Structure formats: structure tokens, C-alpha cells
Amino acid sequence: MDFNNSSYKECSSKNLDDDVKLPSCTVRTMASKAITIDNINPNILKLEYAVRGPLVIRAAEIEKELEKGAQKPFKRVIKANIGDAHAMGQTPITFIRQVISCVTSPELIEKGDYPEDVKQRAREILGACGGNSVGSYTSSHGIEYIRRHVAEYIERRDGYPANWEDICLSSGASTAIKNCLQLLCNNIGGKPSGVMIPIPQYPLYSASLAEYGLEQVGYYLDEDHQWGLDIEELERALADASKNCNVRALVVINPGNPTGQVLTRDNIESIIKFAHKHKLFLFADEVYQDNVYAEGSKFFSFKKVLREIGSPFDDIELASFMTVSKGYMGECGLRGGWMELVNLDPHVQAHLYKCISAMLCPSTLGQTAVDCVARPPLPGEPSYELWIREKTAVLDSLNKRAKMIVDTFNQMEGFKCNIVQGAMYAFPRFELPPKAIKAAAAEGKTPDTFYAFRLLEETGICVVPGSGFGQRPGTYHFRTTILPQPELLKEMLDIFQAFHKKFTAEFSN
């Protein structure tokens, strides 16, 4: 290949836009490409995913600079941008890892020094796999043995029956969510389909809606009332959007991401009645159901409340989602999750399963982790005492860190941070001096993005600007995780306080 030919040119990390970079490489000129920026799927161009956006790209660059000996005013990057528990030092749950070890290396079942309940679980899971190996394909919807255990988990949680055939295992909750969103990709009566999502929201939703050409219908959460979900606001958002699209679905994240609120049972009942009134498909994103901290807060599943209120409201279509990536497990990399489908038209559900089958199957190791979560050790079993001790320690520590982060931000000038009732994040609001807003505009950045970049460059702390999640106009936020271990979190918050004081002084003069 002749790299001196004029049909080639050099490129080196040239920014295409705020969050897409060309690699350092040699590429053909654009004129010779089959796919160009001019003919690429326009939905891909609209797609943004703030959690792994330009700030995170820059954070990775800074890490490499530090490795090469660059002098910075800090020694490490603290990644508070993403809910990756193990990356921030959380210790894996022993029972989950032991079962995974045994299904991956079956000789450990006989030779390894593992509790008998771990070995038995591994034998059962392997027995449900083709060729007794986790290297084989499974059913596209997951191993039946594990789906049945998930149904039993839901029955224990809610007190109402669950049908294992309505359970679909997935590669994390995100894959299942996207599979359901695809059902809505249809223009009806000349208008596109719309999906209601909370603002602030988890960017998976805005990114997926853009990717699939669905209309985003944002409804604002009430920050002044603990990020509450107001039915009047739902009505307003639906009425405004109905002029331009067919609103067909409602997404609710409970406990909230990025806002950390936990919905009351009464609030959930009102949401179900709203969905019934407007014939909306309800997405219940419940992946943080184990992460509830605040006194007086309690997780109620939408499925449970749906069954409790009964006819005529219990006939709405519902998809609820769970994952092993969050909770006390934090097994993000294993990519295990599930969804339960309630009240779907059987023909629609069959076509959804057909669509899922094109992806062959979720990871068998992720499915194994799901089984460990859906059917954890029971009292009296060999692994129980260690399992309950580890689970309790993780959740108690997260509870303490949630309080620590809120108390610190609320002591800082110009900050207001609601109580983190659940999930793994805080979403504080902060004020910026006019001079800082003007400086942000000069750099072509939103004010919260400008602030976050300065924070990263001067301290090594990586957070995500509130504009990546959505926020009321004229307000500024950022999302930070509560996942850094206590000592590191204290260090991070001390550094944060010093930075904010210096930043405010600089731009207030």
C-alpha cells in the first residue's frame, strides 16, 4: 500500500465535534469512502452519551499523561462520572465469584475448596447449559432454569405470581430497554412516536431515542420537592408533545438516576393511573432497587403496586428492568440483567422475542450472576453468613457515603444538594458567577461543562455536567457518583471544596 499516494492523508486526534475523535492513524481521503459524515445515518449524528463523552475522553488522556510523567497539580484521576462500583474499589461478593469460578473451570467443583452450596449451584447451572459448558449458546431469552429463579425472586419481592416465560435475561438492563424501545419505531398518522423520559434522565434514554428516530418527550422532576414526579407536569409534557408526535410510552427511573430519589407508593399509583388514562406503555427502570438509604424511604416495584390497585388499572403494559451491575453486586462487566414483561399482547411479545433471538443470547457468565442474585444463599446454607455480611457492609458503606457527599456539598457556597435517598449518585445544583458564564460562552461550552472541565484539569476529578442529563433552563448541575471508597471520597470532597472556593474567587473579581 502506497502511503505517499495523494489519495491518503495523515490524521492525528482531530476533533470532529465535542465527543467524537479521529484516532492517530492514516486514512483515505473522504471522497473515497463509502460511508461519510454526509451519508451516515443521521440518527447516529444526533446521538450523544454524556456519561462517556468529551470529559471522560479527556480524563483518559490525562491518565496517560500522568503515566508518562507529566507534571499536574494532582497525582491521579478520580472517575466520579460513572456507576462502576468495582472500578472504584468495591470488593466483589464472594458467593457470586465462587459460582462463576466453578462454572468457568468445572474441575474446581471437585478440587476447589469451595462451600458445598457453591458447588451444587455450579453443577445445576452447568447442567442447564448445552454440553455442560458455559461456552455454549443458551436460549436467546436466557437459560430456563435461571428465568424460573428470577420469577421466584419477583414473587418473593412482590407477593404476586410471576410467569417465568415473561422473564427475559439480557446483557445488562440497557440491552433489554433498547429492545423494548425498538417496538415503538413507527410513524402513525404521519407523526413519529414519542417516549416520555424524566429530566434529568439517564443518557441511555436520550441516546437510544435519537438512535431509533423516536421523539424525546421530557418531563421535569421537581427539584424543590426532592426530585418528585408531579402528575400535572406529566400532563403538561404529554399535551405539549402530542401536537408533534404520538406519545406512546412513559419511562420512570426508580430509584432515580442521576437524582437519587425514591418514589413513594402513592406516587407510583398515580403514575400507573396516568399511564392507564393515556394508554401508555410503562418502562419501569428499577435497577437500583437494592440501593435505598434514607430513613422513611422504601422501594416499591411498579409490578407490585399495579397488582395491588387492581382493575381497571392493572391492565397497562409494563416492562420492568433489573441488573447485576448495580445494587450490592456492582458486577458491571459481567453484563447480566433481566426484564419482566406484563400484559403485553402475546403476538407483540412473540415478535419482541424474535427480535431478541437475532442477538443469539446474553453472556452465560452474566446469566450465572443473575442466578446468584435471584437465588442468593439461604439461612443455614454454608455461604449465607458471608454473603449477608458482605451485602450489608456494601449497602451500609454506600449509605454513609451518600450522607457524606450531601453534607459536604450543602456546606459549599452556592450549592444545594437534595438527600440521596437511593441509587448511587448525587446531582447537586450550583450557582456560577456571570464572569464564569461569559468565559464559558467564549469557549463555546455550556457553563456547567466549562466548570467540569476546569475541575478535571485542575484537580483530576471527573464528573458529568448536568446538561448531559437535562436540567431546567438557567440551572446548573453535575452528577457525581457516591462510589469512591470512604477515604478516597473524603479526599475528593476536600479537593472539590478547595477548587470551588478558588474558582468562585477567580470569576467573582
The per-residue pLDDT of the chain, averaged, comes to 88
Note the pLDDT tens digit of each residue in 163-221.
Answer: 999 999 998 888 999 889 988 888 888 899 999 999 998 888 988 998 888 999 999 99
pLDDT at 87 over 50: yes
Is 126 inside a domain boundary?
no
Least confident stretch, 144-148, 179-183, 238-242:
179-183
Which residue, of 344, 361, 378, is where some domain finishes?
A: 361
Rounded CA separation 114/399 (Å): 31
Which of the residue ranges 22-26, 467-471, 484-488 would you say has the lowest mean pLDDT? 22-26
The whole-angstrom separation of Cα 81 and Cα 95 is 28
Model confidence at 37, in pLDDT bands (50, 70, 90)? low
- Could you tell me if 169 and 272 lie in one domain? yes
* Mean pLDDT for the stretch of residues 369-385: 96
Residues 445 and 489 in one domain: yes
Q: Is residue 101 part of a domain?
A: no
pLDDT at 40: 64
The values of phi and psi at residue 90, to 5°, are -70, 135
Residues 304 and 417 in one domain: no
Please indicate, yes or no, whether residues 239 and 277 belong to a single structural domain of this protein.
yes
Give domain status of residue 94, yes or no.
Answer: no
pTM: 0.86
Same domain for 393 and 309: no
82 and 212 part of one domain: no
Residues 6+ apart with CB under 8 A from 322: 173, 286, 287, 289, 337, 338, 339
Helix (H) or strand (E) holding 479, with range, is: strand 478-481
Model pLDDT, residue 292: 95
Transcribe 223-276 into DSSP letters: GGGTTB--HHHHHHHHHHHTTTSEEEEEEEESS-TTT-----HHHHHHHHHHHH
3-class SS at 319?
A: strand
For residue 479, pLDDT beyond 60 = yes
Q: Please state, in angstroms and as integers, the Cα–Cα distance from residue 310 to each residue in 160, 298, 335, 501, following that order.
A: 12, 21, 34, 54
Domain that holds residue 19: 8-40
Looking at residue 54, its pLDDT comes to: 81
Instruction: Give the pLDDT band (50/70/90) at residue 321.
Output: very high
CA angle 54, 56, 62 (to 5 degrees): 105
Q: Are residues 354 and 404 in the same domain?
A: no
- Predicted confidence (pLDDT) per residue in 266-299, tens digit: 999 999 999 999 999 999 999 999 999 988 999 9
**Within a domain: 473:** yes
Other Cβ atoms within 10 Å of 359 Cβ, number? 12
The CATH number of whichever domain residue 476 belongs to comes to 3.90.1150.10
> CA 320: distance to chain centroid?
14
We report the CATH number of the domain holding residue 262 as 3.40.640.10
Does 25 score more than 50 pLDDT?
no
Q: Are residues 313 and 295 in the same domain?
A: yes
Q: Does 247 fall in a domain? A: yes
Which three cell numbers, joined as nine digits, stand for 51?
456519561
Same domain, 219 and 355: yes
pLDDT(16) > 70: no
Residue at 376 is within a domain:
no
Q: Are residues 340 and 437 in the same domain?
A: no
pLDDT score, position 27: 47
The pLDDT of residue 48 is 61
Higher pLDDT: 166 or 135? It is 166
Tally of structural domains, the chain: 3
Per-residue pLDDT tens for 324-361? 999 999 998 889 999 999 999 898 888 888 888 877 88
Residue 327 shares a structural domain with residue 275: yes
Domain-located, residue 369: no
pLDDT above 70: residue 31: no
The answer to whether residue 460 scores a pLDDT higher than 60 is yes
pLDDT beyond 50 at 17: no
**Mean pLDDT throughout 137-165?**
93
From 361, 380, 410, the end of a domain falls on: 361
Percent of the chain beyond pLDDT 90? 62
Q: Are residues 78 and 169 in the same domain?
A: no
Is 68 inside any structural domain? yes
